[in-house]
Structure 1
Amino acid sequence: MRDFKYIFTDGLLSPKYRKSLLYAAICNKASMGAVLYGYDGTYFTSVLATKKWAEDYGEINAEGEYHFNSSDKSLSTSIVFVGELVGALSSSFLGDYFGRKGTFITACAMGVIGTILQTVMTGNLPIFVVGRMVLGICVGIMSNATPLYLSEILS
């Protein structure tokens, strides 16, 4: 029991350390925006190689097998980068209008919308591509807003 009480009176959760722990928690959560940048490209390349992907979004070729053509594959892969460009360029305007927290909330909402568009309409490639672009906008906003937010709260 003494050890538990010590944590709150003199240990890590004591009043003199609480502010530092709060900043560490905020930095931890805000830095997850940087993880989004690499995660999307990593998982999507493995998804493209699955048989289920070809069945849902591909066409039947002359041999009777499902095939996802290269132009659709290129569009599905590269549209995220277009979204990231749009998100990165609009991030400063969103930051001025909504503030940093509002920008994070906007980016998270766009990430949820992009994910829903990608998962709900299975087999509909145009909707999937729109979802990928919306998710790219989310990643672009987060990759631009994260360093600014962290520098503001730590200074």
Structure 2
Amino acid sequence: MTTTAPLEVSRRRRAVRVALWVALAVAVAAVLAWYTTRPPALPTSPATPQATTPVGVPVYVGMFAARHDFARTLTVDGVKVEATANTEVDVAPLLCRGGAFTATSDPEAFCSELVDPEGQRLTPGDSLVVEVTGQLPAVVVIDRVRVGYQDGIRAGTQPAGVAHAVVRVLGR
């Protein structure tokens, strides 16, 4: 007389199968994490725009232009601006909608709207500018801006635009 044992799947095979699925899930998660945190670099330029303004009068300097061939739409999380000056000055990033310029004291002539960039969408034809105002004569050197943004499911903080800008605030 022969007895037959019930059919069983080996626990060892099941453990190997589960381990393979876990390894596959970890690999997919790692590739997805890598992809979402490494968007393509933003354009940079070796240019150095220069501007001059009298004490107390703001001047606006273009730092990054999303030209019409810029095929991305970015949601701006923030713009970091670092400036060095020989006296205290106010420096603030702004988003110029629908325009770009090198330097001006009248941005409304170039921009349909000038707004705080945080939380805004940067689309082709827009630009990032800095507003510089000094209450005393000064020389201001503004480093390349760093833009924190989201581009679809991708996100990053990257340098963008001109290498640096120089603003001279003149006494009256």
Same fold per superposition (TM over 0.5):
no
The structure that is strand-richer by fraction is 2
Q: TM-score, normalised by structure 2?
A: 0.27
Which entry has the higher C-alpha Rg, 1 or 2? 2
Structure with more relative contact order (C-alpha pairs < 8 Å, separation 6 or more) = 2
The structure that is helix-richer by fraction is 1
